[in-house]
Amino acid sequence: MVERVPLQNLMVSGRSATQPVAWRAGALLSFGDFRRSVAAWQAAFEAHPGSRFALHFHDSFEFACALFGVWHAGKCAYLPSDVLPATCARLEDSVDGFVGDVPSAYATVAPQAGARESFSALDPDAQALVIFTSGSSGEPSAIKKHLRQIFSEVATLAALWDEQTGTARVTGTVSHQHIYGLLFRVLWPLASARVFAAQQLANPVDIVAALRQAESAALVASPAQLRRLPEDLPWSSAAERLRVVFSSGGPLPDEALAQTRLLLGRAPIEIYGSSETGGIAHRQRHEDVAAAWQPMPGVTVRIVDEMLQVSSAHLADANWLATEDRASGGPDGFVMLGRADRIIKIEERRVSLSAIERAALASKLIAEVRLVALPDSHHPLGAVAVPNAAGWALYEHHGKRTLVQALDAAIATVAEGSVRPRRWRFVASLPNNSQGKATEAALAALFDTRRPPSRLLSRSAEHAALGLTIDERLPYFKGHFEAAPVLPGVTQVEWAIVYGRELFELPSQILRLESLKFYRIVAPPAKLVLDLQVRCSAEATVLAYEMTSDAGRHSSGRVVFGSHP
């Protein structure tokens, strides 16, 4: 393996111009390609009067080039998780320009081809990175990082796992716009001369294909993605190439651990940390599902009143930082006891959302649950739950109301009736983002009155079928038409896209619609089946949909997704 190079000296000490850096669509990109592109971005940022730039790229190699270009220009990179209009609007007052795959109205900087290559060592004390929390409990928060924090963490990863990972090609399902993906998919491979995949894997089919194409591979994933690995794919041939699996972004459920060990042939290395703290601890549960967490080298932990506190070089200073996680210590490390109680006020009463969630899980009818505060004065608390086999059986044979009553009885042990959730949504999986987190906005969206009640009927790696209950209360029927309400065709296409994004890992952008056909109207009340089929290729991902009922076909079409318009 090529000698490790500290990132502050990467562009100065350099590597051979022919040394492979990244892999894109079957072709290798060299360190010479990297140097030329970094120089082009450095020149562009030096020519711009601003000092703060929002970077958003789909391609990890292009992202790395722009990131090092910003740093070598002595300026600061902001890494938003997306470039939706609301996100860009929030950032406008904080940055001087937007770079990469961003709306044309915001793009302000482009690389200067043919720029002269002239690099100096980076200043570790420069405050050159701003990342954002996932916003899982509210609006994302900006977190400023000095380069020494990032470089220290990369050095820690290298010391822990360079030998185990070897020359494996790094590929992943998580975004480099988040600290976990940034470190594991881009910066650590650059420091340790390990080839990384330029394209983020969108779904399990892509994971299998990527692993089978590599002589040796390392997979960087999240718990949400590992727990969705379908059994009907050729995992055995893919697992032969797999050297190591990493998982971070949240707790890995025991069932996901078992599924990963079964399909991928190995237990993942789990990383515990956060955007604020960086990496804190790790573990690999080969057999013992209750194995303790081991602090990373250079990280010190202590437990005060059952709350975990951290001190490390990954933090901005030497002070202790209190996390929001409960823990207990032991001779072999520490054990997580769950998040600290999230407290909100309802009717002037303090309500512990965590306590209610724990009580609901104790019913043994659901696998996961998240409570969300809703803008509803009568029913301010909603619950999104993933039933287990027993829960779905109760739902199927006795109805939603019976399942809700059973859960409400479990919650009654910790909360009075006036503060218990009165609105429930039962889903196949929580609406996790690319970092494996269910954000407040995504959870609240499930209570949108425009969304019909749904039930997952079947699901595999490339196919899903949902049952939709349509009644006249849906707002789409208002004005369309008064005498004989009809569900608009555009709404049917919208539902295919919304449910498709929830059930499959689809690229960020819609390129086009194809072969839209409408065969017969949908009038309330109705029971529909939405059939979704995903086909992936190097060029695009196609979501085919068909809407049917006992009356026959209502509509069908294809939505073509891709990373670039």
pLDDT digits (tens, 9 = 90+) for 412-433: 988 888 889 999 999 888 887 6
Taking residues 245-260, report their average pLDDT.
Answer: 89
Tens of pLDDT along 288-311? 888 999 999 999 999 998 899 999
Does residue 525 have a cis bond before it (omega within 30 degrees)? Answer: yes
Structurally, at CATH architecture level, domain 450-565 sits in: Roll (3.10)
- Structure-block tokens of residue 242: 């797999």
- Region 147-169 average pLDDT: 96
Task: State residue 476's pLDDT score.
Answer: 85
pLDDT one-digit tens code per residue, 353-403: 888 998 999 999 999 999 988 877 677 899 999 999 999 999 989 989 999
Residue 171 has pLDDT above 60, yes or no: yes
Q: What are phi and psi of 505, to 5 degrees?
A: -85, 100
> What pLDDT shows up at residue 377?
60
Nearest CA-CA partner of 470 in 552, 525, 530, 529? 525
Domain residue ranges of the chain, discontinuous segments joined by +: 341-447, 450-565
Could you tell me the pTM of the whole model?
Answer: 0.74
Average pLDDT, the chain: 90
> Which pLDDT score, from 0 to 100, does residue 86 have?
79
Rounded Cα distance between 199 and 192, Å, is 19
Query: Given pLDDT bands bounded at 50, 70 and 90, which one contains residue 331?
Result: confident
Query: Comparing 140-144, 219-223, 532-536, which segment has the lowest mean pLDDT?
Result: 140-144
- Rounded-to-integer distance, Cα 535 and Cα 428, Å: 21
Rounded mean pLDDT of 475-482?
77
As a whole-number percent, the residues of the chain with pLDDT over 90 amount to: 64
Contacts of range 490-496, beta carbons closer than 8 Å, 24 or more positions apart = 492/518, 492/522, 492/547, 492/554, 492/555, 493/545, 493/555, 493/557, 493/559, 495/452, 495/468, 495/530, 496/530, 496/532, 496/543, 496/545, 496/547, 496/557, 496/559
Q: What is the pLDDT of residues 518-553, one digit of tens each?
A: 999 999 999 999 999 999 876 789 999 999 999 999
- Name the nearest CA neighbour of 468 among 554, 381, 401, 407: 554
Cα separation, 536 vs 507, whole angstroms: 10
Output the CA angle 153-199-152, nearest 5 degrees: 5
DSSP 8-state assignment for residue 406: H
Specify the fold of 341-447: GMP Synthetase; Chain A, domain 3 (3.30.300)
